[in-house]
Amino acid sequence: MDTCACALELLGMLVYVGAWLCALATTILPQWLTMSTALLPVESYELGLWETCVVQDVGGMECRSYDSLLGLSGDLKLARILMCASLTVGMLGMLVAIPGLYLVNSCREHGGYRTKRTLTIIGGVLGMVSGVLCLIPVSYMAHIAVMHFFDDKVPDVVPRWEFGDALFCGWAGGFLLIVAGLLLVTSCMCSQVEDEPVLQRRQQLTRAEVSFRKHSEYV
């Protein structure tokens, strides 16, 4: 296998793991949306998928989980489902892609390099799907915040939600998941071009060895 293809595989897996951790942090962090009021400048509010928090300038932070799942808004429910689906698909993609790496010898005896390429491609495609599933809820929540922020019907004195750190982390994680999937698929394309002449040489050597053995038997 070409050294370039091996480097793409390793780079893809490293980016894959880092991007999945970013998606996990996005799901856990409560800083999806933040809001500060002019009446209480020492306090700010943070909205997450699982809890809401009140942050004070002196360093105190108090969080409270949502009381009921049925009482949540449709936006939070959708964001929860998509983020959990993104994490699940991403983890499945990593588990599928690892046996397909060239440096892992688990599939060489059973299915050969074709099976390893197939596993790597499937893992890369799952990574891209995971990235899209991560970008959808993050971008949707950001869209809602923008629409409410520039709503002319709401008076200017009413506080508005703004982007939190979790949204930027989610954008980075989703984008890197897509990049990781593309790197894994690209490495398979490079290895396929490289492995074809190798297989032809092996077939030629096998045929030569068989013909030599037959010739020795006759002699």
Residue 54: pLDDT over 90: no
- The answer to whether residue 196 is domain-embedded is yes
| Structural domains counted in the chain | 1
In a domain, 64, yes or no: no
C-alpha torsion sign, points 122, 104, 111, 114: positive
Task: Please write the tens of the pLDDT for every residue from 110-148.
Answer: 456 678 788 889 999 999 999 999 999 999 999 988 888
Q: Are 176 and 131 in contact (CB under 8 A)?
A: yes
212 within some domain: yes
58 within domain boundaries: no
Give domain status of residue 49, yes or no: no
Q: Give residue-wise pLDDT tens across range 97-116.
A: 888 777 776 544 445 667 87
Whether the pLDDT of residue 179 is over 70: the answer is: yes
What's the confidence (pLDDT) of residue 212? 46
Assign residue 134 the CATH number of its domain: 1.20.140.150
pTM, two decimals, is 0.79
pLDDT for the residue 99: 85
195 falls within a domain = yes
Q: Give the separation between CA 30 and CA 45, rounded to whole angstroms.
A: 10
Contacts of 115 (CB under 8 A, 6+ apart): 100, 107
The residue range of the domain holding 86 is 3-31+74-218
Residue 205 lies in a domain: yes
